[in-house]
Amino acid sequence: MKVRVDGTLGHAVAEYTGTRVIELDVIPDPHVEGAYAMQAILDDARVHCLQFMVRDIELRKVTAEDLEEVEFTTWPPEVK
């Protein structure tokens, strides 16, 4: 699901990366309650896209410290 970049998640990613977030996509893990995969499109020529995992926290309460940078082989991530 696309989420607002000017909300809590967008601010957390912007703080983590130090750059403006253009687009933010969040996918809940259907097998793990409270776990989400995120992909952020950034306004940065060096790093265009970063992916994160968030676990055990409500999305509206996420801060930069809660983000775990990961690299998925596909987007959206395949769930088996």
Quickly state the pLDDT bin for 17 (edges 50, 70, 90): very high
| pLDDT higher than threshold 80 for residue 79 | no
In this prediction, what percent of the chain has a pLDDT beyond 90?
A: 72
DSSP letter at 76 equals S
How is 43-59 classified by DSSP, letter by letter? S-SS--EEEEEEESS-G
Bridge partners (DSSP) listed for residue 53: 37, 68
| For residue 11, pLDDT beyond 80 | yes
pTM for the full predicted model: 0.89
Torsion angle of the four alpha carbons 65, 59, 38, 71, in this order, in degrees rounded to the nearest 10: 40
Q: What is the pLDDT of residue 45?
A: 82
